[in-house]
């Protein structure tokens, strides 16, 4: 368990991206928060300050992964195909300091109660974790018996998840989808949260149409919806580009090759979308399923959260976007879309989630809530049973 005792940490002389580039700065951390950012910070002797030398290196905000199967996923091929729970070291070694947990297709052998326990456990082990209530299926799986209560009363629940346009989903009606979305939205209002409706997108020909059908009713704003896996096929990506132009937000998954991901980012740029409404998530520890035309499972793999930092490096190294814009996909964008206070930026009053990177963008150090979790690329803090 992480101690709450205040500790002075000085990250000295790094080239800082907040994600805006502010140049070489010192960052003073007290306990879990950033309390000062300045050209040079001098502290009196006797404070027991831990100094991290970041000179010649870059300092980024900790990365946010907004869609992770922290309990594991899978199960489409039977009990032996359930993917494993994620480990703390898997997360921090990938430069991720905040995750948002989800359930997948299996809400039978896995539950939102267990997801909530895993979320709390990750927080106690040293990172920040949130979750979506619900799963692929309708009626929604909940903790309190109500989507509205889950979102309103449980501090780590940022919204609710469902699925559309997928042969594995519940094929909810428009009325059911409306009730699901309204409950989520109102729970957010009661809990002073965004109350985001996180929608798994499958390969079905409908694509985003069910969301558009609901929007035509005119009662729920487009920014309440946050569809994910929107880059999974060309048709869906085109729909996603239009969705962002109309004021929505979309979540993409990095492709198997950096080149393919860069093609996706290029299409976003060419489409003239507001890139602040776009995020990337790993789908970490979820299953990569391959089905034939008969709907039979023919292949299965496991996603890794490490794809997030690999994608960030790829975008930066390509020169397609400047560092500041590339970083936003993985930091302030998900924080703003989901309403994660104190996250996604290097700023006074924000949590001290910091990455120190070498000139080649390899990971040197990771601080999560002010605690040094990774040093010289090696994990210092492991999960309880690692």
Give the model's confidence band at 299: pLDDT under 50 very low, under 70 low, under 90 confident, else very high: low
Cα separation of 104 and 316, whole Å? 31
Q: Is the pLDDT of residue 44 over 90?
A: no
Q: What is the pLDDT of residue 298?
A: 72
pLDDT of 6 > 70? The answer is no
Its pTM stands at 0.95
Domain assignment present for residue 326? The answer is: yes
Q: Is the pLDDT of residue 291 over 80?
A: no
**Stretch 283-300: mean pLDDT, rounded?**
74
Same domain, 292 and 162: yes
- Model pLDDT, residue 282: 96
Regarding whether 74 and 163 lie in a shared domain, the answer is yes
287 and 375 co-located in one domain: no
Same domain, yes or no, for 54 and 80? no
Give me the catalytic one of 15, 65, 169, 283.
283
Q: Do you know the residue count of the chain? A: 386
State pLDDT tens for residues 193-232.
999 999 999 999 999 999 999 999 988 999 999 999 999 9
pLDDT in tens, 99-153: 999 999 899 999 999 999 999 999 999 999 999 999 999 999 999 999 999 999 9
Question: Does pLDDT of 294 surpass 80?
Answer: no
Overall average pLDDT of the 264-285 stretch? 96
Output the domain CATH number for residue 12: 2.30.40.10
Clarify whether residues 75 and 137 are in a common domain. Answer: yes
User: Highest mean pLDDT: which of 71-85, 88-102, 253-267?
Assistant: 88-102
Both 333 and 353 in one domain: the answer is no
Q: For residue 68, count CB atoms less than 10 angstroms from its CB and return exposed for 0-12, middle for 13-18, buried for 19 or more.
A: buried
Residues 91 and 104 occupy one common structural domain: yes
What are the pLDDT digits (tens) for 235-266?
999 999 999 999 999 999 997 778 899 999 99
SS3 state of residue 358: coil
**Are both 278 and 366 inside the same structural domain?**
no
**Helices marked H in 232-369 — which ranges?**
234-245, 258-270, 307-318, 323-328, 332-338
Predicted pLDDT of residue 336: 98
Confidence of residue 287 (pLDDT cuts 50, 70, 90): confident
Is residue 332 pLDDT above 80, yes or no? yes
Residue 386 lies in a domain: no
Contact 52, 9 (CB under 8 A): yes
| pLDDT at 73 > cutoff 70 | yes
Is 283 a known active-site residue?
yes
Domain span at 17: 8-60+344-379
Query: Given this model, what pLDDT does residue 289 score?
Result: 63
Instruction: Supply 267's token pair.
Output: 């299409």
Helix segments in 246-378, DSSP class H: 258-270, 307-318, 323-328, 332-338
Does some domain include residue 85?
Answer: yes
Q: Which residues have C-beta within 8 Å of that of residue 122, sequence separation ≥ 6?
A: 70, 88, 91, 99, 101, 129
């Amino acid at each position: 368990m992480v101690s709450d005792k205040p500790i002075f940490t000085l990250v000295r002389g790094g080239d800082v991206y907040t994600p805006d580039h502010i140049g070489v700065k010192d960052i003073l951390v007290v306990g879990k928060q950033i309390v000062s950012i300045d050209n040079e910070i001098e502290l009196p002797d006797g404070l027991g300050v831990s100094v991290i030398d970041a000179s010649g290196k870059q300092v980024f905000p900790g990365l946010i992964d907004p869609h992770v199967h922290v309990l594991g996923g899978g199960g489409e091929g039977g009990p032996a195909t359930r993917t494993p729970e994620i480990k703390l070291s898997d997360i921090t070694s990938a430069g991720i300091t905040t995750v948002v947990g989800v359930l997948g297709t299996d809400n039978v052998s896995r539950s939102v109660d267990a997801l909530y326990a895993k979320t709390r456990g990750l927080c106690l082990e040293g990172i920040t974790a949130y979750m979506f209530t619900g799963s692929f299926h309708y009626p929604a799986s909940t903790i309190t018996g109500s989507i509205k209560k889950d979102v309103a009363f449980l501090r780590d629940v940022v919204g609710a998840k469902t699925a559309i346009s997928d042969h594995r989903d519940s094929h909810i009606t428009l009325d059911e989808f409306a009730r699901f979305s309204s409950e989520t939205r109102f729970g957010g209002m009661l809990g002073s949260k965004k109350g985001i409706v996180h929608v798994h997108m499958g390969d079905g020909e409908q694509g985003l149409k069910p969301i558009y059908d609901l929007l035509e009713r005119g009662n729920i704003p487009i920014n309440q919806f946050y569809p994910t896996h929107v880059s999974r096929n060309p048709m869906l990506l085109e729909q996603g580009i239009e969705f962002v132009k109309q004021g929505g937000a979309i979540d993409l998954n990095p492709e198997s090759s950096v080149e393919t991901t860069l093609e996706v980012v290029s299409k976003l740029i060419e489409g003239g979308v507001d890139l602040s409404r776009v995020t990337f998530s790993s789908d970490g520890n979820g299953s990569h399923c391959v089905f034939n035309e008969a709907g039979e499972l023919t292949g299965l793999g496991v996603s890794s959260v490490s794809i997030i930092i690999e994608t960030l490096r790829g975008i930066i190294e390509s020169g397609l976007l400047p560092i500041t814009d590339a970083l936003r996909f993985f930091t302030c964008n998900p924080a703003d879309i989901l309403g994660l206070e104190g996250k996604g930026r290097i700023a006074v009053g924000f949590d001290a989630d910091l990455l120190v990177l070498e000139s080649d963008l390899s990971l040197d150090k990771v601080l999560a809530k002010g605690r040094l979790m990774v040093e010289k690329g090696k994990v210092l803090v492991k999960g309880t049973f690692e």
